Amino acid sequence: MNITIKDVPQELHERLREAAVQSGRSLNKLILCALERTFVPRKVDRGELAAKIRKRRESMHVWLEDSALNRAIEDGRR
């Protein structure tokens, strides 16, 4: 299926073109990927996600406990 997008502002077109070049994709592929990320829900395997998080935490040299993160968040809100 083909879709034509009309009246794209020049500045937006330039930003899209730059993003496509930087990602090594065509403009069309970049836009399709952006639309898919926005409108096609991805199912997440919670076990796999938890394993990735654990692995990343293990590789971190500095680790903050949840209580320290919560304090930092609260401080930023004041």
Q: What are the pLDDT digits (tens) for 6-56?
A: 999 999 999 999 999 999 999 999 999 999 999 998 888 889 988 998 888
State the Cα–Cα distance between residues 31 and 20, nearest whole angstrom. 9
Q: What is the pLDDT of residues 10-22, one digit of tens each?
A: 999 999 999 999 9
Give the DSSP letter string of 17-77: HHHHHHHT--HHHHHHHHHHHHHSPPP--HHHHHHHHHHHHHH-SS---HHHHHHHHHHHH
